[in-house]
């Protein structure tokens, strides 16, 4: 009995219970859209499980939700043969030139007539399951005794690539399936991995604002995400899975396709709510027309609909031909690209200062949506497509979502039209427009001043690693900006309790607390102040390096390019970004306002600590020490530009080992990483202290 309640077994039991609980909450959140706990509560449970799994890896469950964060790096994808081939569907198309229903849907009706004839059933009695034809990536999920053991791409239909590590990061894919009885020995689920339209728009917005290359469409991004060799990249993408078929099941035999879909839903898979059972040609054609009208309202991209015979007996009788089933068909939507005229080209400024040209066009219906604006992405795209105001252009909805100009009909140009060029000043605030090396995106340099960027700038300024103003999160900042109480970061320090009391969500106590937090934040540090300014490419680490190197904000603002390049880890791009920021008079004015309003920090002795064996290296500290505290060791190493990590990996350069070192020491020995004991550590720290004293003298 004593073994049963030993600490390790108690931890194992907790790991098992946490795994079950978190998987259940994942299902409620991602598959049912019905969470029962807050994000904070979920994160607390998740962190506890991660902590236990790190300490007791031998008790980690095969279906642990911590697999969702990725991190496994593959050298290549293994290939496996599909036990049941992943075949394509034959396509039929709408006759868009006909208004008569029979003529418009002629190919669909031919398909149903053939099936009715071969099964000797009246066409009106045929039942089909109709579903959206997802514009995503087909995948096969194989479960043994309830556990997900393999995920394969379609490949050539007969052999697919093993992308299990990547697929396990997709949060709405069950890592294990449970039923009222014992789980079946074998279940193979077919479905589509895709990215929702809203998530795709957010990703491209971030790409545009950071100067990155825009993703072409959700499908291409989903396909690329699944084939990443580093699963942590896959985990960072908002992928979703929708099940559309059950390829194998060693348990119950289903008599209908509809029953298969119901089973899939019952064990935790997402099945599109648009899937429905239909009878007769009228119902089939009406479904197609409705889905074509609604395609732009759906949360995911589709390029048609799929009809599959509901009867399993009928499916078996009809069988397959070549590489497609004879009992199912894909009814594709017609491609849409329409003409319009460019009336003007405006330039919008995003929340991070990115300038985006937008074409104002004559209103035109594109794929069921009236479009009046279309993105032109950047100056290079405008030149490549030779788009000018007054041109007749072809407009499409990229990925059926974002209106864009696909090309200009130059042959229709009858007069000389002026070429468009991006403005040299920000159209919102007039600050200088800059373009970094190798970037296509142009940006406003007035980060602290520009109205278009103010919410982003203010939220960053108040964040935990910056001025750390408790109570000024994203929602509060948005409320204060919308109310006109804050127009720049300097206005934060002009707020009064009386002003806050006029707003919703602010009572006497919360308003008083916020003003007190603002007042407290005035006494800060130079690294925090530099980071709070939101200089592009200057993160927390770079802010520390700059503070250490220059000692004061005045010195940093006066630095030239050569001086900046002498700072550790400051390269050409970052140096130019710093210069551009401080060269903008509006930013310098705001900084002076902040200092006048009471922002203060202790000046530092300017130095640039560097040690060839420390700077830029990654350390891990494990065990306990007699003469040193771990926090002290970490602080000194970081002062010299080292990174102190929490776990040992191939990227670790040194492991500092104290007494009672555990699994981290074992891992270091396994990887052949250099070890530093307490005696060597004392010598190293003495040398570093000597270097620092020399720099300060």
28 secondary structure, DSSP code: I
Residue with tokens 């491209």: 204
Does the domain spanning 7-69 belong to CATH 2.60.120.10? no
How far CA 68 is from CA of 19, 54, 434, in Å, comes to 12, 15, 39
Strand order in the sheet with 137-144: 147-153, 137-144, 186-195, 239-249
Contact 79, 164 (CB under 8 A): no
- pLDDT averaged over every residue in the chain: 87
pLDDT band with cut points at 50, 70 and 90 for residue 6: very low
Rounded CA-CA distance 695/549 in Å is 11
pLDDT, residue 4, reads 37
pLDDT at residue 564 above 70? yes
pLDDT band with cut points at 50, 70 and 90 for residue 352: confident
pLDDT, residue 3, reads 41
pLDDT band with cut points at 50, 70 and 90 for residue 178: confident
Contact 170, 84 (CB under 8 A): no
Structure tokens at 482: 């919308």
User: Shortest CA distance to 207 belongs to which of 440, 399, 426?
Assistant: 440
3 state DSSP class of 161: strand
pLDDT, residue 264, reads 94
pLDDT in tens, 596-622: 999 999 988 766 556 667 777 899 999
Rounded CA-CA distance 87/156 in Å is 9
pLDDT mean over 280-307: 92
- Sketch the domain layout of the chain as residue ranges: 7-69, 127-280+300-330, 338-412, 426-599, 618-696
- Output 473 or 369, whichever has higher pLDDT: 473
Tell me the Ramachandran region of residue 569: left when phi exceeds 0, alpha when psi lies from -120 to 50, beta otherwise: left
pLDDT, residue 181, reads 72
- The 10 Å Cβ neighbour count of residue 352 is 22
- Output 69 or 651, whichever has higher pLDDT: 651
- The 10 Å Cβ neighbour count of residue 250 is 13
User: Shortest CA distance to 625 belongs to which of 636, 638, 614?
Assistant: 636
The reported pTM is: 0.50
Rounded CA-CA distance 400/311 in Å is 33
User: Shortest CA distance to 662 belongs to which of 643, 647, 684, 641?
Assistant: 647
pLDDT at residue 687 above 70? yes
Q: What is the CA radius of gyration of the chain?
A: 31
% pLDDT > 70, the chain: 92
Q: 127-280+300-330: CATH homologous superfamily? A: DNA ligase/mRNA capping enzyme (3.30.470.30)
pLDDT at residue 644 above 50? yes
- Output 421 or 606, whichever has higher pLDDT: 421
Structure tokens at 283: 């119902």
pLDDT in tens, 10-24: 888 889 889 888 888
| Third-level CATH fold of 618-696 | Rossmann fold (3.40.50)
Which of 129-138, 329-338, 471-480 is predicted least confidently? 329-338
Catalytic residues: 133
| Third-level CATH fold of 338-412 | OB fold (Dihydrolipoamide Acetyltransferase, E2P) (2.40.50)
pLDDT at residue 399 above 50? no
Rounded CA-CA distance 90/379 in Å is 42
For domain 426-599, the CATH architecture is Orthogonal Bundle (1.10)
Rounded CA-CA distance 328/323 in Å is 12
- Output 420 or 396, whichever has higher pLDDT: 420
**Start-to-end Cα distance in the chain:** 66
pLDDT, residue 168, reads 94
Helix (H) or strand (E) holding 92: strand 91-93
Rounded CA-CA distance 423/431 in Å is 11
pLDDT mean over 653-666: 90
pLDDT in tens, 41-91: 777 788 889 888 888 888 888 888 887 665 555 557 888 999 998 888 888
pLDDT mean over 176-203: 89
Which of 21-30, 262-271, 436-445 is predicted least confidently? 21-30
pLDDT in tens, 300-339: 989 899 999 999 999 999 998 767 899 999 998 876 678 9
pLDDT, residue 496, reads 95
């Amino acid at each position: 009995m004593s073994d049963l309640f030993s600490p390790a077994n108690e931890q194992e039991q907790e790991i098992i219970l946490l795994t079950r609980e978190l998987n259940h909450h994942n299902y409620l959140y991602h598959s049912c859209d019905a969470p029962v706990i807050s994000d904070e509560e979920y994160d607390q449970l998740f962190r506890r499980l991660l902590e236990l799994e790190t300490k007791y890896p031998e008790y980690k469950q095969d279906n642990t939700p911590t697999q969702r964060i990725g991190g496994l790096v593959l050298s290549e994808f293994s290939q496996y043969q599909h036990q049941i081939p992943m075949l394509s569907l034959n396509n039929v198309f709408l006759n868009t030139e006909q208004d008569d229903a029979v003529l418009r849907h002629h190919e669909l009706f031919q398909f149903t007539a053939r099936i009715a004839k071969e099964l000797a059933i009246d066409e009106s009695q045929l039942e089909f399951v109709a579903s959206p034809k997802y514009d995503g990536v087909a995948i096969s999920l194989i479960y043994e005794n309830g556990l997900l053991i393999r995920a394969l791409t379609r490949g050539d239909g007969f052999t697919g690539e093993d992308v299990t590590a990547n697929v396990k990061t997709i949060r709405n894919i069950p890592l294990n399936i449970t039923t009222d009885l014992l789980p079946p020995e074998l279940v193979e689920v077919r479905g589509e991995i895709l990215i929702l339209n809203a998530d795709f728009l957010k990703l491209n917005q971030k790409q545009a604002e950071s100067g990155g290359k825009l993703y072409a469409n959700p499908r291409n991004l989903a396909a690329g995400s699944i084939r990443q060799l580093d699963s942590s990249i896959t985990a960072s993408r908002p992928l979703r899975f929708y099940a559309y078929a059950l390829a194998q099941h060693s348990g119950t035999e289903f008599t209908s396709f509809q029953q298969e879909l119901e089973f899939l839903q019952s064990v935790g898979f997402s099945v599109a709510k648009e899937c429905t059972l239909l009878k007769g040609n009228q119902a089939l054609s009406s479904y197609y027309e409705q889905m074509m009208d609604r395609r732009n309202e759906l949360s995911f991209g589709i390029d048609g609909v799929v009809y599959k015979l509901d009867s399993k007996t009928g499916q078996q009788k009809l069988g397959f031909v070549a590489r497609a089933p004879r009992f199912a068909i894909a009814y594709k939507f017609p491609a849409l690209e329409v003409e319009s005229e460019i009336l003007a080209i405006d330039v919008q400024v995003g929340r991070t200062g990115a300038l985006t040209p937008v074409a104002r066009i004559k209103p035109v219906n594109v794929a069921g949506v009236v479009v009046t604006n279309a993105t032109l992405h950047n100056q290079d795209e405008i030149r490549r497509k030779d788009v000018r105001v007054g041109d007749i252009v072809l407009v499409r909805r990229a990925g059926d979502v974002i209106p864009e100009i696909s090309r200009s009909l130059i042959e229709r140009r009858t007069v000389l039209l002026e070429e468009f060029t991006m403005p040299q000043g920000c159209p919102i605030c007039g600050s200088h427009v800059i373009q970094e090396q190798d970037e296509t995106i142009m940006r406003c340099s007035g980060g602290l001043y520009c109205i278009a960027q103010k919410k982003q700038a203010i939220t960053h300024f108040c964040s935990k690693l910056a001025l750390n103003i408790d109570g000024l999160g994203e929602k509060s900042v948005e409320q204060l900006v919308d109310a006109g109480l804050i127009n720049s970061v300097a206005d934060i320090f002009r707020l009064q309790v009386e002003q806050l009391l006029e707003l919703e969500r602010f009572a006497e106590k919360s308003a008083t607390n916020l003003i007190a937090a603002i007042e407290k934040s005035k006494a800060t540090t130079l690294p925090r102040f530099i980071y709070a300014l939101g200089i592009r490419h200057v993160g927390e680490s770079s802010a520390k390096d700059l503070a250490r190197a220059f000692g004061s904000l005045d010195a940093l603002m006066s630095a030239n390019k050569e001086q900046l390049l002498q700072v550790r880890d400051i390269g050409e791009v970052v140096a130019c970004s710093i210069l551009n920021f401080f060269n903008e008079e509006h930013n310098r004015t705001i900084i002076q306002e902040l200092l006048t309003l009471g922002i203060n920090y202790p000046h530092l002795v300017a130095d640039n600590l560097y040690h060839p064996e420390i700077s830029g290296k990654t350390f891990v500290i494990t065990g306990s020490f007699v003469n040193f505290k771990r926090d002290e060791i970490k602080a000194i190493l970081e002062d010299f530009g080292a990174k102190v990590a929490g776990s040992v990996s191939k990227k670790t350069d040194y492991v500092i080992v104290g007494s009672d070192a555990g699994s981290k020491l074992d891992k270091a020995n396994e990887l052949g990483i250099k070890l530093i004991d307490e005696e060597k550590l004392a010598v190293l720290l003495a040398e570093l202290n000597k270097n620092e004293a020399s720099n300060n003298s």
